[in-house]
Structure 1
Amino acid sequence: MKALVIGSSGGIGKALTECLRADTRFDTVATLSRSADGLDISNENSVSVCARQMKQVHDAFDLIINAAGALVIDGSVPEKSVKAIRVDALMNQFLVNAIGPALLLKHFHGLLPRNARSLFASLSARVGSIGHNRLGGWISYRAAKAAQNQIVNTASLEIARTHPAAIVVALHPGTVATQLSHPFISGHQATSPEDAAARLLATIERLQPHQSGGFFSNDGQSIAW
């Protein structure tokens, strides 16, 4: 089998790559990242070029995982109140955490095999769940992840018409102890990137085509939209 990890230089992306490469079922684990390959998920030309290059080398992937995303962008930390909303910070969150995944789905879903089980997973966040929100705050990040969830859900319906065995889902990796999340997880139980990766891949293995379009936690439980 072949797998592709997009955003492989980040904490979770790196752990997913290592976990997949240790799995003997995968003979190919390809990676893409901004630092190693110049992939800019907010730039359609960059995404399109990388997709074409991957297609030429590998033809198709049984598993594509988007682990790219950002919580703090250009120094803008999550807002604590409505009064703290800034247009530039809101736009940047949507560019990276919603438009980026949309471009990846547009250009990479064609690398899934048409007549065999395949999976495209995009890492989202539980805070993007509207139904789960009880605390408020983090408006830009929450809204961008909620938008990503809608993009994944909508794209899954179209992809199913040409790839009936494909599974397209949004996944919540849990609270993961990475350099990015460190300032925001005080008082919260966090898991290591390695544990998060193992749980995500176990959930991915259990998912079935009828669950395509869903939003799931790393233990396989469905999350409210």
Structure 2
Amino acid sequence: MSDVLIAGAGSTLALALAEHFQKAGHRVIGVGRTATGAGPYDLTFSSDYSETSLAEVALRCRRAGVRPNLILCCVGVLHDDLVIPEKRLADIQSQHLAHYFAVNSILPVLILKHLVPLLNREAAVKVAFLSAKVGSIGDNRLGGWYGYRASKAALNMLIRTAAIELARRHREVCVVALHPGTTHSPLSEPFTDRIPKGRIYAPQQSAERLARVIEGLTPEDNGQFFHWDGTRLPW
């Protein structure tokens, strides 16, 4: 039984992924803003995602013998009490952009910084981040959603850069960005009325698709950006 560590453990998709991997026989460890014994986690650790807190989580994981073969980062924001995707340049506000980058770009790479030393160095290991197709610069044909698009594009660059560095230390590592598709969740709820029903997926369906992609990854896929169907997306 190998360890799977999920950051952003309380999100709808994270919970579905945890349930999938637990049913597959893995020990699943959750890291989130609120630790709870409920849900499909064998161990949970609370963190506010500050560097001090993440360092403490890493220490507690070591003490618990956590050596993940897979780290999944499900941290991200599309809308909340502070931000909503901007449609026009006139909608942009500096504090909103800062919030998008703080949550979607900076927190994931800090999570990677502090948790990657836990990875099992004696096996092939994988690190997967939930990104978004709208973060692809090459695929942007509609415009809008400035802060979300830009912060996910920044996340993709951080992932690509970290993948290059980590491969120098661990030949069997694979670090990727994943596009999960539009999943029924509080994150997507305000926007689902404009999306065809066949393109909105149940959390369990999205989790199964992502798990299939993850399970098929090899070190040759390191530093790539994948659609939920396994095809590569342009940066």
Category of TM-score, reference length = shorter chain: over 0.9
8 Å CA contact 2:82–2:96 kept in 1: the answer is: no
Question: What pairs with 1:168-179 in structure 2 (closer than 5 Å)?
Answer: 168-179=175-186
Asked whether 1:131 is paired with 2:138, we answer: yes
Aligned equivalent of 1:163: 170
- Give the distance between the partners of 1:202 and 1:55, measured in 2 at CA: 28
Q: 1:197 aligns with which of 207, 216, 225?
A: 207
- Give the distance between the partners of 1:64 and 1:93, measured in 2 at CA: 22
Q: 1:39 aligns with which of 15, 33, 47?
A: 47
Q: Structure 2 stretches of 5 or more lacking a match? A: 36-44
Q: 1:108 aligns with which of 86, 109, 115?
A: 115
1:2 Cα shift? 1.0
Q: Stretches of 4+ moved more than 6 A in 1?
A: none
- Give the distance between the partners of 2:219 and 2:229, measured in 1 at CA: 18
Question: What pairs with 1:67-82 in structure 2 (closer than 5 Å)?
Answer: 67-82=74-89
TM-score (norm 2): 0.91
- Give the distance between the partners of 1:52 and 1:121, measured in 2 at CA: 22
Q: Which has the higher strand share?
A: 2
Q: Structure 1 stretches of 5 or more lacking a match? A: none
8 Å CA contact 1:51–1:107 kept in 2: the answer is: yes
- Give the distance between the partners of 2:182 and 2:4, measured in 1 at CA: 24
8 Å CA contact 1:109–1:159 kept in 2: the answer is: no
Aligned equivalent of 2:18: 17
- Give the distance between the partners of 2:96 and 2:105, measured in 1 at CA: 13
Aligned equivalent of 2:101: 94
How many residues align? The count is 222
- Give the distance between the partners of 2:6 and 2:113, measured in 1 at CA: 16
- Give the distance between the partners of 2:99 and 2:212, measured in 1 at CA: 32
Aligned equivalent of 2:40: none
Aligned equivalent of 2:156: 149
8 Å CA contact 1:39–1:50 kept in 2: the answer is: yes
